[in-house]
Structure 1
Amino acid sequence: MERHQGSAPAGPDRPRLRRAAAALTSLVALTATSLVTAPTIAASASPAACALPRTAAHHSLGLDSWNSAYARPDHTVDSVMIFLSFPDAAPRTTPRELAADHFPATSRFWNRSSYGKFVLRNHPLAHWLRMPHPSTAYRITRDWAPKRRDMYLRDALRVADPVVDFAKYQVVYLVADPDAPGVDADATKVVNFSRPMRADGTDIGRIVTVFEHHPPDRNVLAHETGHVFDLPDLYHRPTDGKGDWDTYVGDWDVMGSQFGLAPDLFGWLKWKLGWLDDRQVRCVQSAGATMLTLEPISAPRSVGGQAGTRLVVIRTGEESAIAVEARAAVGNDATTCTEGILIYRVRGGTESGGGPIEVYDTHPHTSACAGNSVYPPLADAPLGVGETYTVPGERISVEAADRTPTGAWTVKITTGDHA
């Protein structure tokens, strides 16, 4: 979740479900490359033909261009972790312990998800920096008053400036003493500034404010760091504060829930970030049937460096598309509840938190992994071998035809009058 400093909230808050994920399923050795397994009937276009345009929506999932206000995570990025104590509490943990709560786990998550293209290199301070006011003076809450939040951020940068060279870092984590009486663990978020703050002559456009318990929620910084690189919240916040937060994507992406059993990023997000290239994305435009082989999105890079197909896209409108990918118990998805072919709709003009991605439930009358899944009705959303699903309102059907010995999936996609 995140907020805009000095303006209305950018999107709904990250839900705090605090559920334990169950470790299940065995790892599958996945080294498949993409092969056409039958004659292609439907014509495939250049992936650019299926790339939705970037819109003015906050964290738009349009990807025909990159928003230059954000660094792109396709290289090594340096972050700094600053630890803040308060006059009204003596810390019961050390900066080393709090840094270990999040790293190297967060870096490993992103490195696996990017197939090694993104390295997040964290630099934690070794000591506490004392804030000038008691923790209770900042009135820290999830829905934080802008005036108090501004006071906190300015004080934090003021005490850090003499010891941190901000020009060296692209990501800033401010970590509060979790045991201070005024610290609210639900307030962890990214704060965006309409006008950057400055330290060491460096513009700081956004800061990750961390108020987590020790130990913290799983994958919490993986989620928050995603916002730093222009990724949206994929969960749904009920307008009345009641109901379920995970109806859009369930367990299927860390930007939906850091507690998810299959938290690796959707293929569409990996395409947006530059981690999938044109050889790994198939754009289907013309009517007919296409047979292809999909490598699971969380599988490591193909043996020999070959780029197997990982994402299929069918454009359905100016700002919408259907995406198809394989999910398997490997990498960041090692604890997935089910494996198979996942189908979802992407809306490039939808704001963060408003449902820019929605997963289709191909088994609407069943659920799975109750007690472990963040949203059991979508835990069995993928198609299994031999199953077919027709996308509601579209002339598109997807069949999980087979699974190869290496763990890849043979998929038949039919569009137009034949669907």
Structure 2
Amino acid sequence: MGVDRPRPRRAERSRLRRLGAVLTCLCAIATTMVAAPAHAAGPGGPCALPRSQAHHSEGVDTWNPDYPRPVGRLDAVMIFLSFPDARPTVSPDRLAADHFPATSRFFERASYGRFSLRVHPVKRWFQMPHTSGEYHIQRDWDGDRRSAYLRDAIAAADRSVDFRRYSLVYLVADPDAPGVDSDATKVVNLEEPIRVDGSDLRRVVTVFEHHPPDRNVLAHETGHVLDLPDLYHRPTDGKGDWDTHVGDWDLMGSQFGLASEPFGWHKWKLGWLTPRQVDCVNAPGSALHTLQPLESPMHPGTDARTRMVVVRTGATTAVVVEARGAFGNDAATCTEGVLVYRVRSDTASGGGPIQVLDGHPGGHACWGQSVYPPLADAPLGPGESLGSVADGVRVEVRGHTATGAWTVKVSRG
């Protein structure tokens, strides 16, 4: 089984945030010039990075057919599991309402209405054959016990659920059972699918959330089902901040983030942005671009407006420029402006495939609210600029109109 590991809870992260902020400010000072290697245009165009063998590769030139493409409707079933050692105190109705319709609405806004996640809760408890403690549920779950849990859960519900009707299964455990660990919420990718009702079950979201749950937790986990990577940093020694790569920007970095809207790059990957909404820069020179805020809804006649500028910097690398505003899925953000980030399509989930470039090095914003204040003020405002010597890219914000559009000058050396 392949597993997308969960991120730590807020209390665990806050103890290490201040040290991480100092180290990030120190490390952001030095850059070196590197030459961009020659690269060929893939089927997605000259700025569409190639999909690699990296787990949840950020390549956009082709789609990985092992994952359901989120255009149109995806039906999911939500199954509620109890245990012999505990009597549930929260009803399936309330647990379903913890996540839906909020999760569906998140994707409806993010996709501009192009993706519909329809959940079908089976509003009754299915009792597992063993006590909650016998499964040893935890973040780094033993593979054999996790497999036993999945088999028992599917078997418990099989008589009442026709799994052939669904592309995704959410298994929701009684949050008050003594052996349930909320840090074990994750997507389980099955290398060998479970055969049930004549179909192959390949991906399951195991939900062990408290009631009420962490905000956006199922939107984050569902993102993995759609082949999106973890964008947070995973300290190998258990020390350091988890949010140094992208901070609050994009819920795949943090489900707690103030600006949870998916990056424009992810929207392009998922089919929610089309090539005509992407300005491609793959040759030296400078040009002005007009950017619509990423979160703004699309209306008839506006879908051809640019939402993202992509600067191809290497065979597997690019710098992306997009505008972010305080509405939609980003309504809670404390800063607005032009966000710049680096993408690597050969870097695996959790290894930093996307890194936000800080428009205000040494600064910070939203202490007490942001998951990583040093990057909360990353966007550029009118008259501000950011240059990355390592990427050979410079971005200057020339203006911000009353209608919300941003004018930027993008230069590639």
When the two structures are aligned, how many residues end up with a matched partner? Answer: 385
Change in Cα spacing, 1:18 to 1:123, as seen in structure 2 (3 Å) is farther
Change in Cα spacing, 1:306 to 1:148, as seen in structure 2 (3 Å) is closer
Are 1:352 and 2:349 matched, yes or no?
A: yes
Q: Percent identity?
A: 63
In structure 2, C-alpha distance between the alignment counterparts of 1:270 and 1:83, rounded to whole Å: 31
Q: Deviations over 1:43-88 (max 9, x none)?
A: xx99610001100000000111100000000111101000000000
- Aligned residue for 2:273? 276
- Aligned residue for 1:389? 386
- Aligned residue for 1:196? 193
Confirm or deny: 8 A CA contact 1:302 1:308 kept in the other structure: no
Confirm or deny: 8 A CA contact 2:319 2:391 kept in the other structure: no
In structure 2, C-alpha distance between the alignment counterparts of 1:344 and 1:305, rounded to whole Å: 25
- Aligned residue for 2:219? 222
CA shift for structure 1 position 306 = 3.4
- Aligned residue for 2:157? 160
User: In the TM superposition, what are the counterparts of 1:17-416 in structure 2 within 5 Å?
Assistant: 17=10, 48-416=45-413
Q: TM-score, normalised by structure 1?
A: 0.90
Q: TM-score, normalised by structure 2?
A: 0.91
CA shift for structure 1 position 237 = 1.3
- Aligned residue for 1:13? 6
Please give the secondary structure, in 2, of the residue aligned with 1:180. Answer: coil
In structure 1, C-alpha distance between the alignment counterparts of 2:238 and 2:357, rounded to whole Å: 24
- Aligned residue for 1:39? none
CA shift for structure 1 position 15 = 2.1
CA shift for structure 1 position 183 = 0.3
Listed as ranges, the gaps of 5+ residues in structure 1 are 20-44
In structure 2, C-alpha distance between the alignment counterparts of 1:18 and 1:61, rounded to whole Å: 30
Change in Cα spacing, 1:248 to 1:72, as seen in structure 2 (3 Å) is same
Q: Deviations over 1:98-138 (max 9, x none)?
A: 00000000000000000000000100011000111111110
Please give the secondary structure, in 2, of the residue aligned with 1:203. Answer: strand
Confirm or deny: 8 A CA contact 1:13 1:237 kept in the other structure: no
Give the aligned residue type for 2:84.
Answer: P
Please give the secondary structure, in 2, of the residue aligned with 1:381. Answer: coil
Please give the secondary structure, in 1, of the residue aligned with 2:287. Answer: strand
Please give the secondary structure, in 2, of the residue aligned with 1:317. Answer: coil
CA-atom RMSD in angstroms: 1.5
In structure 1, C-alpha distance between the alignment counterparts of 2:4 and 2:224, rounded to whole Å: 11
Confirm or deny: 8 A CA contact 1:99 1:124 kept in the other structure: yes
In structure 1, C-alpha distance between the alignment counterparts of 2:388 and 2:4, rounded to whole Å: 28
Q: Which consecutive aligned stretches of 4+ in structure 1 deviate over 2 angstroms post-superposition?
A: 10-13, 302-307
Change in Cα spacing, 1:12 to 1:200, as seen in structure 2 (3 Å) is closer
Give the aligned residue type for 1:165.
Answer: D
In structure 2, C-alpha distance between the alignment counterparts of 1:286 and 1:161, rounded to whole Å: 56
Please give the secondary structure, in 2, of the residue aligned with 1:80. Answer: strand
Confirm or deny: 8 A CA contact 2:5 2:186 kept in the other structure: no
CA shift for structure 1 position 302 = 3.6
Confirm or deny: 8 A CA contact 1:171 1:207 kept in the other structure: yes
Change in Cα spacing, 1:306 to 1:62, as seen in structure 2 (3 Å) is closer
Please give the secondary structure, in 1, of the residue aligned with 2:339. Answer: strand
Confirm or deny: 8 A CA contact 2:44 2:60 kept in the other structure: no
Please give the secondary structure, in 2, of the residue aligned with 1:152. Answer: helix
Confirm or deny: 8 A CA contact 2:44 2:62 kept in the other structure: no
Give the aligned residue type for 2:10.
Answer: L
Listed as ranges, the gaps of 5+ residues in structure 2 are 13-40
Give the aligned residue type for 2:63.
Answer: W
CA shift for structure 1 position 415 = 1.5
Change in Cα spacing, 1:409 to 1:219, as seen in structure 2 (3 Å) is same
Please give the secondary structure, in 2, of the residue aligned with 1:222. Answer: helix
Confirm or deny: 8 A CA contact 2:81 2:125 kept in the other structure: yes
CA shift for structure 1 position 12 = 4.6
In structure 2, C-alpha distance between the alignment counterparts of 1:270 and 1:216, rounded to whole Å: 26
In structure 1, C-alpha distance between the alignment counterparts of 2:329 and 2:211, rounded to whole Å: 23
CA shift for structure 1 position 305 = 4.5
- Aligned residue for 1:33? none
Give the aligned residue type for 2:247.
Answer: G
Q: Deviations over 1:230-264 (max 9, x none)?
A: 00000001111111000000000000001000000
Confirm or deny: 8 A CA contact 1:190 1:209 kept in the other structure: yes
Give the aligned residue type for 1:368.
Answer: A
Q: Deviations over 1:243-286 (max 9, x none)?
A: 10000000000000010000000000000000000110010122
In structure 2, C-alpha distance between the alignment counterparts of 1:246 and 1:253, rounded to whole Å: 11
CA shift for structure 1 position 405 = 1.0
